[in-house]
Structure 1
């Protein structure tokens, strides 16, 4: 399952900080170039060639220093079932916490990982069988119960996991377990017992994309039941076994944690694919404010490069710059409701301040995204037009125009919606009352304040009074905490999202039962289109599936509860001493390959 980074993918939902330029389509070749779109929709291309992998080699030993760029520290929640922070996921993902089913370069499941998968459409089952070589980092063999236990963690109301959503209720008995009317999940069975080598998951229906990682219909991580069973689920997230002394089956295990700052790993001697090449590695959280200096000082062997500093570091010697357009996007979201934990649904407020469709559309047309990208994108970003990126060329709506800057159109929409211009230069609401919109935007880099101020001015130009929440940018942890808790006073917000590697997940992100639908909208048309995407007809008719995704994108642009703004390359500076490292559309190389990474001494 491929998610988080920023953001996490259901299995790990890639939450990402609000960035100047988010991310775009994948490129499977060894080099690629960036392009941006002007407001007229014509292509404006700036040639930037990137490698996608470092040199190969056989070096062993040595220490790898990795930077995770974040304005806030990690929270040390290492179990993916309980994570809500992109930073936590990035620190351990693939180094220690590994996806258990192997994939090819297109994220299709293949045999040869820690667990093999067999789908049976007729029987409506998924059989997962453990590789007999797989052991946990404490030496215990992985058993069938370890594959089932994550579902208990996800579904228990004692954990209040944000990763649980209605998709899991396609598993027989999952809803009953979640609601507390059943003590076990009837749809997960053990052919050879809990200490055996396999489980069978029984589904109510087979769904589109079940053969692709990140599909969200089942979990792709295992957890060590023998190690965690003595911890009550309500205490698991805050326990030492989750925070400081976790057990993994990936190539490395945690040796030392400096709270919020760094994690040092050592090889997992029981790793099923063989001995990892590195003697040790340390992952350190680095502030965006010091990122440029850290690169120029060659302090880290692997470190991400923000678009805003690209021009300043691109000629730094001693690094290979690797680049991909990952499956992420930045967006402007409008708060129109709350999430009801009892029903597991987003409940839209019919009287929400941002409930007027023409108001939302006008706000989108008033944003000069192309100009912002031209000034701050450094040749590696472009305005976005839809919520499914070019990373999915078959499913991306190539005809979508999105919201190019059209101030006159914005004014006309506001006039039609009854927002009249007052003597002070600002519009009143349709009832003639003063109208102020509160925006929440995340603190990220030095450009973010300038960008937000620019948009506030552009909204003022069409008569809308917009102010920042508490008069300033919001830090990462508070930002997502405010969204999750539906804190009052937030009318719209600028955020980013990392997509899963299965395209229908892009739509389910905004489903009525998804707690990560932070806009909290619940429209009948959106629900209808998502049902079409997930229907049996879509399973059996690929063209219908594609057409349903195109229709969904078109409707999302029309209803404008969420407006995509921009994407950009994710760039990684890799020391020229690093061997066997590569980047992929999700921002990291294929899982199950990290044990091969080495560094010349």
Structure 2
């Protein structure tokens, strides 16, 4: 998921840090699905308290419009998907699905739907609820076009026909009975059950959120999660939800409700937290040290407990530079390698991020399975080697140290520029002329798609906690998020083979092999990994936010 504002603002989806992967994930204290048989029933919140949680204005709050982390944070608590990645155990579990199986070649997936689970309007969740929801995402008649997040279903047979408007049904989706969902893929994909954990693929009541009902549903969606809407989403102000009394996919929420308070910036929200009028806020970079000192750091980085309220755990997030490989200058791999080696990532993290970021040495986040320290050799700091590569590429320095090499560095105009200026200074030390080109995000994104840029600031965070969710969308041809316009037959053979590898451990190794190959070609330059940087009020006795920035609000508790 692409990130609109990689410096100090909400991470944004398509047009969406230190610590070990397993140990950090295993330390998490919250889990959305509780009992293995899923029979626990809710009677509403066990407390009269309402938890207030900071978000910025979301792109939407229902599956069709989940294009940023704020939208996903809300929808994750209003909707339940087929599966759920449990960060406590590091394992994928069934949620609305009672069980699931797949064919030997990983092209046909069968999900058995849990009986007796309900939508917030009292209607039953069935296999047809998922078939309808997925068709709704892809159908251009739902809105003015297919949902921007319908790409999650791109591997399902019939996807291209429905998104093109030439069919109304996904030919690969069938419901043999009310509680069986069968999905046929256009190619083998062994991680499809991870994709099915994404909130965007949650069920929707048949007929809802289409035609004349589209706007009403968008502002007050009918979900199946632990919280249900209380009134309508007040755009720019708040989203309020209350515990769902008939919730059957896990334990009852421990609070009576949650109010997502919408702020334009984290500085304002954090002041509200300090004043005692907000329960959880994003912490501005400049307030990181103060928050740690005043509220105490979470023991595992993800769960706030009394006197340990600051969450600094690693996110599934990587900030990077994008190189347009079709640009006359950036088409030379030696130039790309040199520009990456010239950046002093540690100095930037120390001076600008104040401990809330760590230098990136892999395109994969440090908190993701498959990450290896130093996997991307050209993400190291080595200005001498950078100079040598530039010499070899034909950009030798003259008597004044200039190399007759210049380019524009495209950045988001909404961001502060300190980090970009630091990179500019690093490149200038090598004799390169660099102009920072501040562009509004919409124009910036269009330049990425059109390939009319040289170098740009970019970031990505995971839709699902697997390496494929980085390697395939960022590097495979035909993906809109491959903004480097990188195309390489060998890489595509490696990644396609990895996706079709049935054994989990072998699949991770195959993904690493594909990652190793592309790391030498440097279509991107990893920059840093970011921490959650959230803090809770002292009245919050427990609140977990996962590495995917998903708040487990049904597990949250407040001291009365």
Closer/same/farther in 2, CA of residues 215 and 319 from structure 1, 3 Å limit: closer
Superposed CA deviations along residues 148-194 of structure 1, whole A, max 9, x for unmatched, are 123323433552433344x74543333443444444222211112xx
8 A Cα contact 2:20 2:367, kept in partner: yes
Deviation of 1:204 (Å): 4.5
Distance 2:155 2:246 in 1: 35
8 A Cα contact 2:188 2:499, kept in partner: no
Distance 2:288 2:434 in 1: 31
Superposed CA deviations along residues 7-37 of structure 1, whole A, max 9, x for unmatched, are xxxxxx47463137994555565899xxxxx
Distance 1:573 1:284 in 2: 15
Correspondence for 1:280? 257
Counterpart selection for 1:557 from 503, 519, 531: 519
Correspondence for 2:147? 161
Distance 1:225 1:107 in 2: 33
8 A Cα contact 1:301 1:575, kept in partner: yes
8 A Cα contact 1:170 1:204, kept in partner: yes
Q: Does 1:494 align with 2:471?
A: no
Q: Does 1:383 align with 2:359?
A: yes
8 A Cα contact 1:529 1:552, kept in partner: yes
Correspondence for 2:298? none
Superposed CA deviations along residues 191-250 of structure 1, whole A, max 9, x for unmatched, are 12xxx233211234542334545688x974222223124359xxx5xx3322x1222111
Q: Does 1:94 align with 2:76?
A: yes
The DSSP-based 3-state class of the residue aligned with 1:249 is coil
Deviation of 1:354 (Å): 2.5
The DSSP-based 3-state class of the residue aligned with 2:272 is helix
8 A Cα contact 1:97 1:249, kept in partner: yes
The DSSP-based 3-state class of the residue aligned with 2:348 is helix
Superposed CA deviations along residues 442-473 of structure 1, whole A, max 9, x for unmatched, are 644xxx4222212112212212222222xx4x
8 A Cα contact 2:289 2:354, kept in partner: yes
Closer/same/farther in 2, CA of residues 409 and 28 from structure 1, 3 Å limit: closer
Counterpart selection for 1:151 from 127, 131, 134: 134
Correspondence for 1:455? 423
Q: Does 1:512 align with 2:500?
A: no
Correspondence for 2:227? 252
Distance 2:28 2:187 in 1: 42
Closer/same/farther in 2, CA of residues 278 and 288 from structure 1, 3 Å limit: same
8 A Cα contact 2:352 2:418, kept in partner: no
Q: Does 1:303 align with 2:274?
A: no
Correspondence for 1:329? 318
Counterpart selection for 1:109 from 92, 95, 100: 92
Counterpart selection for 2:205 from 224, 229, 242: 224
Superposed CA deviations along residues 244-293 of structure 1, whole A, max 9, x for unmatched, are 12221112233243322322223334433465333332212331343543
Q: Does 1:438 align with 2:409?
A: yes
Closer/same/farther in 2, CA of residues 213 and 223 from structure 1, 3 Å limit: same
8 A Cα contact 2:2 2:458, kept in partner: no
Q: Does 1:190 align with 2:175?
A: yes
Correspondence for 1:314? 292
Aligned residues: 520
Superposed CA deviations along residues 118-137 of structure 1, whole A, max 9, x for unmatched, are 11324843222332332222
Deviation of 1:398 (Å): 5.2
Closer/same/farther in 2, CA of residues 60 and 215 from structure 1, 3 Å limit: closer
Closer/same/farther in 2, CA of residues 17 and 395 from structure 1, 3 Å limit: same
Distance 1:358 1:284 in 2: 48
Correspondence for 1:36? none
8 A Cα contact 1:384 1:402, kept in partner: no
8 A Cα contact 1:94 1:594, kept in partner: no
Distance 2:401 2:20 in 1: 44
- Across the aligned residues of Structure 1 and Structure 2, the Cα RMSD in angstroms comes to 3.5
Superposed CA deviations along residues 300-325 of structure 1, whole A, max 9, x for unmatched, are 21123345421122122466223321
Deviation of 1:114 (Å): 2.2
The DSSP-based 3-state class of the residue aligned with 2:377 is coil
Superposed CA deviations along residues 453-506 of structure 1, whole A, max 9, x for unmatched, are 12112212212222222xx4x56x547644665484x32222221122122222
The DSSP-based 3-state class of the residue aligned with 1:283 is strand
Distance 2:535 2:241 in 1: 21
Correspondence for 2:390? 414
Correspondence for 2:116? 133
Counterpart selection for 2:539 from 574, 577, 581: 577
Correspondence for 2:301? none
Correspondence for 1:41? none
Counterpart selection for 1:466 from 426, 434, 449: 434
Distance 1:417 1:376 in 2: 32
When normalised by structure 2's length, the TM-score is 0.81
When normalised by structure 1's length, the TM-score is 0.76
| Larger relative contact order, structure 1 or 2 (CA cutoff 8 Å, min sep 6) | 1
Q: Which runs of 5+ in 1 are unaligned?
A: 1-12, 33-49, 337-348, 430-434
Q: Which runs of 5+ in 2 are unaligned?
A: 12-16, 32-44, 296-306
8 A Cα contact 1:28 1:584, kept in partner: no
Which stretch of the first structure deviates more once superposed, 265-274 or 549-558? 265-274
Q: Does 1:63 align with 2:63?
A: no
Correspondence for 1:367? 343
Distance 2:281 2:418 in 1: 25
8 A Cα contact 1:440 1:468, kept in partner: yes
8 A Cα contact 1:157 1:178, kept in partner: yes
The DSSP-based 3-state class of the residue aligned with 2:293 is coil
Closer/same/farther in 2, CA of residues 228 and 213 from structure 1, 3 Å limit: closer
Distance 1:143 1:211 in 2: 18
8 A Cα contact 1:439 1:466, kept in partner: no
Closer/same/farther in 2, CA of residues 88 and 215 from structure 1, 3 Å limit: closer
Superposed CA deviations along residues 381-401 of structure 1, whole A, max 9, x for unmatched, are 321111123334555365543
